[in-house]
Structure 1
Amino acid sequence: MEIHRRLSPGSLEAVYQASLAHELSLRAIWFEQFRRLPVTYKGVLVGEDVAGFVIEERIILELKAVSTLHPRHEAQALNSLTATGFRLALVLNPSTALRACFGAASLEHTRVVK
């Protein structure tokens, strides 16, 4: 919420990501940004996904700067959970539309549990 309150509405996703990385570092919270995740099909490596943030080696966190979250964002988080074996992912959207309608206290989010 700190980042959500301090940054201008409509900032780029990369700006929110860099700010979150800085905030996590300030709070001494371990994270890895942009972790590559292998994707296999019937035992064969067919590609890779990228998790926005891995927090404390147990939570996937995805930041999206979009007008509203879409089911594909939840699906992406679920894919990351499958690839890592983690049980919890959070998808956060410091959305311009929500901020305009409800003020800076609103933060669109989805919790994905596997």
Structure 2
Amino acid sequence: MEIDKLTEQVIGLAIEVHRHLGPGLLESAYQECLYYELKKANLKVERELKLPIEYKEIKLDHGYRIDLLIEDRLVIEIKTVETFTDVHKAQILTYMRLGNYKTGLLINFNTKLLSKGIKRFVL
């Protein structure tokens, strides 16, 4: 599937989750429900994927965890914050660089309209 179509499908499923749950819950609730919707849509999805980092001669196996990885190429980072900060944006870009993924979505479920809480990143 083309990455733009995949991204569009994932955004649609995230909107579906937000319509049912609304804002105000923990990140883990949205992650679990979005994971359910992605699996139901027959997409390959990995949750809490460990992303090791290498520093000089050492490898840190528990460096980072990607919230969701879709079809081995789309990184999803879920937030429930008032507004995105530069740290949130840097976080997803770091995950993308370390894992050599080209596309990512930063999704903030703590918004009245989910479309206002989605940022797409492309390396």
TM-score by length of 2: 0.80
Aligned counterpart, 2:107? 92
Question: Secondary structure in 1 aligned to 2:28?
Answer: helix
Distance 1:82 1:19, change over 3 A: same
Contact map agreement 1:49 1:80 (CA 8 A) in 2: yes
Question: Secondary structure in 1 aligned to 2:72?
Answer: coil
1:54 to 69, 75, 78: 69
What's the CA shift for 1:8?
3.0
One-letter code of the match for 1:28? N
Per-residue deviation, residues 52-111 of structure 1 (Å, max 9, x unmatched): 00100001001101111111111111111112111111100012xx31xxxx46441111
Q: Which has more helix, going by share of residues? A: 2
Question: Secondary structure in 2 aligned to 1:90?
Answer: strand
Contact map agreement 2:108 2:114 (CA 8 A) in 1: no
Distance 1:75 1:105, change over 3 A: closer
Distance 1:8 1:35, change over 3 A: same
Aligned counterpart, 1:65? 80
Question: Secondary structure in 2 aligned to 1:9?
Answer: coil
Misfit runs of 4+, over 4 Å = none
Matched pairs, number:
108
1:22 to 29, 32, 36: 36
Question: Secondary structure in 2 aligned to 1:72?
Answer: helix
Q: Is 2:54 the partner of 1:45?
A: no
> Quick one: distance in 2 between partners of 1:62 and 1:105?
14
Contact map agreement 1:94 1:107 (CA 8 A) in 2: no
Contact map agreement 1:91 1:109 (CA 8 A) in 2: yes
What residue ranges of structure 1 are gaps of 5+ in the alignment? none
Percent of pairs with identical residues = 31
> Quick one: distance in 2 between partners of 1:80 and 1:39?
10
